[in-house]
């Protein structure tokens, strides 16, 4: 009983120090996987708009639908967040690592996978931005394609996306932008509280051992 009471005492302090869990900032609908897809390597790029609508948000991840050759694995790609599809102001531009999940084979023999990347992205105010994928690297050296869904089933403000391929406008792609409200990481006061909680726990355990 004493041990349970100790943890109940410390739990609120520990919870105050935890950062917020990332959630959806924008989603452009689920993967279709059976209509078409657009190349994001071999010099090709695809850009889609997304809208931040719930206040300043820190972008820290992305999910998208990929078409891959059988047995292929997407490793990395260049991910940019800009004010224009082929330029403008650049808010983020890095090579990111991708992890596949939920892969299925479509009627054309492609592996259709949900690809997820996490990264330390920018903090963006409300507005519309472009996310651009290009320079994808995969294990087989084959084309990597971004799934086209025309924004069907999307629910975020600003959807479906405007989309740009290197030759011009195309239908929208399936993707989700991940992040959290700006300023939700632990503040110094929260870190102090966490330290106080750990110190209190240590003192209690020491007293228990000395008895």
| DSSP-based three-state secondary structure for 192 | helix
Q: How many CA atoms lie within 13 A of 27 on its CB side?
A: 11
Angle (deg, nearest 10), helices 188-210 and 2-16: 160
Q: Is 200 contained in some domain? A: no
| Token pair recorded at residue 139 | 């294990």
Give how far Cα 68 sits from Cα of 86, 104, 210, Å: 25, 10, 62
Q: Please check whether residue 201 lies inside any domain of the structure.
A: no
Provide the number of structural domains found in the chain.
1
Which pLDDT value is given to residue 184?
65
In a domain, 56, yes or no: yes
- Which residue range forms the structural domain that includes residue 102? 23-183
For residue 75, is it within any domain?
Answer: yes
Main-chain phi, psi angles of 121, to 5 degrees: -95, -175
pLDDT in tens, 157-209: 999 999 999 889 999 999 999 999 998 654 443 333 334 343 433 443 333 33
In a domain, 59, yes or no: yes
* Helix, strand or coil, per DSSP, at residue 42: coil
Q: Would 7 be classed as within a structural domain?
A: no
pLDDT attached to residue 25: 98
Confirm if 72 and 138 have CB atoms less than 8 A apart.
yes
Neighbouring CB atoms inside 10 A of 179's CB total 24
In a domain, 6, yes or no: no
pLDDT single digits (tens) 53-65: 999 999 999 999 9
Whether residue 71 contacts residue 141, with contact meaning beta carbons closer than 8 Å, is answered with no
Place of tokens 């850009």: 47
In a domain, 103, yes or no: yes
pLDDT digits (tens, 9 = 90+) for 7-32: 333 333 333 333 444 699 999 999 99
Tell me what the mean pLDDT of segment 98-125 comes to.
98
> CATH number for the domain including 60?
2.60.120
Average of per-residue pLDDT across 21-48? 94
């Amino acid at each position: 009983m004493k041990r349970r009471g100790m943890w109940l005492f410390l739990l609120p302090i520990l919870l105050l120090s935890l950062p917020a869990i990332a959630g959806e900032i924008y989603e452009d609908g689920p993967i279709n996987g059976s209509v078409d897809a657009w190349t994001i390597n071999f010099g090709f790029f695809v850009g889609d708009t997304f809208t931040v609508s719930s206040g300043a948000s820190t972008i820290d991840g992305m999910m998208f639908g990929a078409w891959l050759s059988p047995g292929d694995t997407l490793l990395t790609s260049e991910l940019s967040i800009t004010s224009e599809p082929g330029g403008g102001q650049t808010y983020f531009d890095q090579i990111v690592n991708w992890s596949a999940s939920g892969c299925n084979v479509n009627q054309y023999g492609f592996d259709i996978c949900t690809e997820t990347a996490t990264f330390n992205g920018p903090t963006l105010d409300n507005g519309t931005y472009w996310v651009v994928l290009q320079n994808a690297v995969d294990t087989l050296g084959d084309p990597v394609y971004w799934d086209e869904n025309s924004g069907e089933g999307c629910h975020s403000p600003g959807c479906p996306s405007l989309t740009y391929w290197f030759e011009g406008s195309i239908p929208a792609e399936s993707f989700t932008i991940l992040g959290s409200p700006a300023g939700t990481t632990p503040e110094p006061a929260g870190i102090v509280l966490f330290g106080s909680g750990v110190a209190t726990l240590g003192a209690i355990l020491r007293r228990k051992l000395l008895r």
